[in-house]
């Protein structure tokens, strides 16, 4: 993937995103839409999965046909909102291995602190897709990618629903080798770190918390 940022302009993605932005959309509908959009974004972000060929006998001939090669994809959810994107990717790549990164923000240093980290083995041999619906300041995304690289990951992609220009710039500075796929590059962050126009707190909206 040569572009650092890919915005998926597909009409189905954009239509579903509009429904998700609407504050009147219910929790169950929001979750269902996130699942559906993630399937479409997953199609885009897996374009460069390595392929090899295998002999297959059709009813008419034997051919060399493409199939996925190498170690299984590693899908890593950045807790907690990333969990809302897991099943959409797993629908397309059911054999993917799944990991989790949990971070909280230290109130004094304001730096992200790791509280949970469990990822598949042999990360260095896998394509790794980190998922988090909102790329806002980029602080947690950059920290999560730092940890994945420390764990050996070399071929990492970042999948989000919405991105703020500030977060994209921060990721580009810290991890220029990590392509980002998103449904929208929104306008800006507000003073509380929310994306504008955005859709609010993605975790609260998908889990029905406040």
Residues annotated as part of the active site: 105, 109, 201, 204
CB of 39: closest distance to ligand URA in angstroms?
21
**8 A C-beta contact, residue 71 and residue 39:** no
Nearer to ligand URA, 43 or 194 (CB): 194
Strand, coil or helix: 135: strand
Tell me the C-alpha distance between 74 and 20, whole Å: 27
The string over 152-170, giving b where at least 16 C-beta atoms fall within 10 Å of a residue's C-beta and e elsewhere, is ebebbbbbbbbbbebbbeb
Nearer to ligand URA, 53 or 209 (CB): 209
Nearer to ligand URA, 36 or 201 (CB): 201
**8 A C-beta contact, residue 43 and residue 183:** no
What does 7-27 look like in DSSP terms, one character per residue? E---HHHHHHHHHHH-TTS-H
CB of 200: closest distance to ligand URA in angstroms?
6
CB of 134: closest distance to ligand URA in angstroms?
4
Tell me the C-alpha distance between 145 and 126, whole Å: 14
Name the DSSP letter for residue 124: G
Burial of 130 (0-12, 13-18, 19+ CB in 10 A): buried
CB of 13: closest distance to ligand URA in angstroms?
18
Nearer to ligand URA, 53 or 188 (CB): 188
| Interacting residue ranges for ligand URA, rule: CB under 6 A | 134, 136, 193-195, 198, 201-203
């Amino acid at each position: 993937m040569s572009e650092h940022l890919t915005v998926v302009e597909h009409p189905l993605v954009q239509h579903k995103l509009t429904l998700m932005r609407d504050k009147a959309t219910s929790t169950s509908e929001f979750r269902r839409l996130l699942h559906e959009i993630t399937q479409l974004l997953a199609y885009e972000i897996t374009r460069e999965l390595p392929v090899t060929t295998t002999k297959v006998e059709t009813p008419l001939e034997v051919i060399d046909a493409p199939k996925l090669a190498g170690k299984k994809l590693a899908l890593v959810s950045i807790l907690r909102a990333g969990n809302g994107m897991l099943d959409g990717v797993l629908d397309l790549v059911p054999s993917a291995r799944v990991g989790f990164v949990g971070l909280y923000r230290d109130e004094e240093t304001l730096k992200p602190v790791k509280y949970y980290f469990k990822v598949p083995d042999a990360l260095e041999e896998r394509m790794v897709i980190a998922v988090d619906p909102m790329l806002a300041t980029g602080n947690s995304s950059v920290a999560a990618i730092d940890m994945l690289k420390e764990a050996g990951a070399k071929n990492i992609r970042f999948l989000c629903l919405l991105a703020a220009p500030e977060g994209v710039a921060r990721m580009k500075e810290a991890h220029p080798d990590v392509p980002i796929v998103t449904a929208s590059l929104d306008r800006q962050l507000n003073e509380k770190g929310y994306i504008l126009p955005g859709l609010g707190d993605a975790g609260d909206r998908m889990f029905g918390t406040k």
